[in-house]
Structure 1
Amino acid sequence: MRRGREASRRQGRPLVALWCCVPLALAGDWFWARLREHRVMSMPLELGQRYGQHFIVGYESVGDVASLAARGLIGGIFVTHRNAAGWSLEQLRDEIAHLQRLRRDAGLPPLIVAADQEGGIVSHLSPPLPVHAPLSDLAGLPPDVRRTKAREMGAELGAELVDLGVTLDFAPVVDLRFERPAASTDNGSRIARRAIDSDPAVVTEIATAFIQGLQTKGVSATLKHFPGLGRVQEDTHAERARLATRADDLARSDWAPFREILRQSPALVMASHAIIDAIDPLHPASQSKAAISGLLRGEWGFEGLVVTDDLDMGAVYRHDICSGVVASLNAGVDLLLVSYDGRQYYPLMECVLAADAKGQIERQMLAGSDARLHARRN
């Protein structure tokens, strides 16, 4: 019996030690997170503001971003269902206005205030905003009717957003719809349910009219997800995704709405995290100089702003995101979106600052991006 009790004690000690490690590990994570925040908040203000203007950050409570906004260490905020849940329009409007007052009091340009209001299943501020039908509902209507209705929908949605204080809508989706069974792992992208139509001309027509409606109310639009997720099977929210279609096929179909709309619209472009073999088989589009500076800016002549898809997504976050965020800036991306977990702003900003100290940020690319942001504000 004595031997049995002694053996039991010996076997229990590792379990006790393991149990004690859990709170110690959590305390360690908390300590390092606070230390990282302190280092970022203590960086030279001029340097912080230069790189900070390139970040759009999501948040859970206004205190998470108030000091960043007031010091100019971020360029924008992303508001979504967690900010609106249980709140009235007045409460959310007041919170956004409070952050903008912090900017004005500090003599800083207004924050970009971004939201995800596409209509249909992606209407992240509904409620309190009303839910609009998806743009795909218009595809079967006669051309003149669908253009009118798309413009009306954009204007109605734009009026709701600008009243709230939102200045940038991450819409419309101009990926094409390809009729195929959804992948069992696609729990986030769901492009087949969000795409307007399979015909590039119809997508271009409806999206252009929708953008015009948004713009009449002072809200900027965003074409997504460049250079097209319609054929991509994997869900970039969770894993790496790859598209193996030939470039000439993509040019005739998937790329056509992006290219045609950008010829006549000042919309932003959201770069996806999918790897497009025809452009760059090694890097996601959001980190690819060939995709951003080569195809989009070089071949198509686009001079507007490019924003990444959320950098918290598994397609990039799990694959050396520290190097990835630097690659995005060097590729010609202007805005880095950190929406799902805004706290990841701090480690990502540290990555950018470390790259700056090592001379790894391409100055010409950064200067061009700074100029585009300045032009947009003015």
Structure 2
Amino acid sequence: MIGISINGLESQGMKATFKHFPGIGQVVNNTHHFLAELELSVSELNKHDWLPFKQIVENSDAIIMLSHVILTKVDRVNPVSFSYKVVKNIIRDAWQFKGVLISDYLTMGAADSHGLCNSSVNALNAGIDLLLISYNYEKIYDAMFCVNRAFENGALRSDMLVLRQKRLAQGLQFYRSHPTSAH
């Protein structure tokens, strides 16, 4: 089913994006407003919740959106959207995902409670490629200021910047090779 969805979207010039990693079906709180935790082990997640995401990683270069759920058995402090332990250690290293990762929007309650600057910089340092900010558009400038300041102060990991540039350039190749897409 995932392959059919990806093929259908991409045949029409639209890049597929799958969300919300790590799977939020068993999450009680709504991350739009509150912090939310998922208290499943990596082993449990591998058996169920992560199966569709692993299919994506193994069979496509679709974009994956990460939610602001805290995986308590991996990182008790940071939501997956800016958890180095989840993004770098699991998705990037263990799964070898080389595609584009995008955060859910950083002005949601679960992310905003960590502060926009902290969330933005930590997400980029963890290996997220695109930061989503919506509904509160003036916050884009705040996030840009924070990221720029972190870059100037050497707080952004240079190795992540180089890899991000490669992933985003590769992602743009999709649109160059699909002239029917509206971009």
In the superposition, the TM-score normalised over structure 2's length comes to 0.91
Answering whether residue 109 of structure 2 is matched by residue 314 of structure 1, we say: yes
Structure 1 residues 123-272: aligned runs within 5 Å: 206-272=1-67
Other structure's SS at 1:224 match: strand
Q: How big is each residue's C-alpha offset from its partner over 1:33-78, in whole Å with a ceiling of 9 and x where there is no partner?
A: xxxxxxxxxxxxxxxxxxxxxxxxxxxxxxxxxxxxxxxxxxxxxx
Query: Runs in 1 of length 4+ with deviation above 3 angstroms?
Result: none
Which ranges of structure 2 fall in alignment gaps of 5 or more residues? Answer: 174-183
Are 2:37 and 2:71, in contact at CA under 8 Å, matched by a contact in 1? Answer: yes
CA distance in 2, matches of 1:248, 1:279: 11
Answering whether residue 151 of structure 2 is matched by residue 359 of structure 1, we say: no
Q: Tell me by how many angstroms 1:279 deviates.
A: 2.1
Other structure's SS at 2:132 match: strand
Q: Given the alignment, which residue of 96, 105, 108 partners 1:301?
A: 96
- Aligned-pair identity in percent equals 38
More helix by share: 1
Which residue pairs with 1:338 in the alignment? 133
Are 2:102 and 2:131, in contact at CA under 8 Å, matched by a contact in 1? Answer: yes
Which residue pairs with 2:78 in the alignment? 283
Q: Tell me by how many angstroms 1:224 deviates.
A: 0.6
Other structure's SS at 1:225 match: strand
CA distance in 1, matches of 2:75, 2:4: 32
Q: Given the alignment, which residue of 288, 308, 326 partners 2:121?
A: 326
**Aligned partner letter, 1:371:** K
Q: Tell me by how many angstroms 1:318 deviates.
A: 2.5
Answering whether residue 68 of structure 2 is matched by residue 273 of structure 1, we say: yes
Other structure's SS at 1:355 match: helix
CA distance in 1, matches of 2:8, 2:106: 29
Other structure's SS at 1:233 match: coil
Q: 1 or 2 for the larger relative contact order (CA 8 Å, sep ≥6)?
A: 2
CA distance in 2, matches of 1:260, 1:287: 22
CA distance in 2, matches of 1:220, 1:336: 17
**Aligned partner letter, 1:360:** A
RMSD: 1.1
**Aligned partner letter, 1:312:** T
In the superposition, the TM-score normalised over structure 1's length comes to 0.45
Q: Tell me by how many angstroms 1:289 deviates.
A: 1.1
Other structure's SS at 1:215 match: helix
Other structure's SS at 1:337 match: coil
Q: Tell me by how many angstroms 1:261 deviates.
A: 2.4
Q: Tell me by how many angstroms 1:253 deviates.
A: 0.5
CA distance in 1, matches of 2:102, 2:134: 12
Structure 1 residues 100-115: aligned runs within 5 Å: none
CA distance in 2, matches of 1:243, 1:268: 22
Which residue pairs with 1:375 in the alignment? 170
Are 2:105 and 2:134, in contact at CA under 8 Å, matched by a contact in 1? Answer: yes
CA distance in 1, matches of 2:101, 2:55: 16
Which residue pairs with 1:85 in the alignment? none
Larger radius of gyration: 1
Other structure's SS at 2:138 match: helix
**Aligned partner letter, 1:370:** Q
CA distance in 1, matches of 2:33, 2:63: 25
Count of paired positions: 173
CA distance in 1, matches of 2:51, 2:76: 21
**Aligned partner letter, 2:17:** T
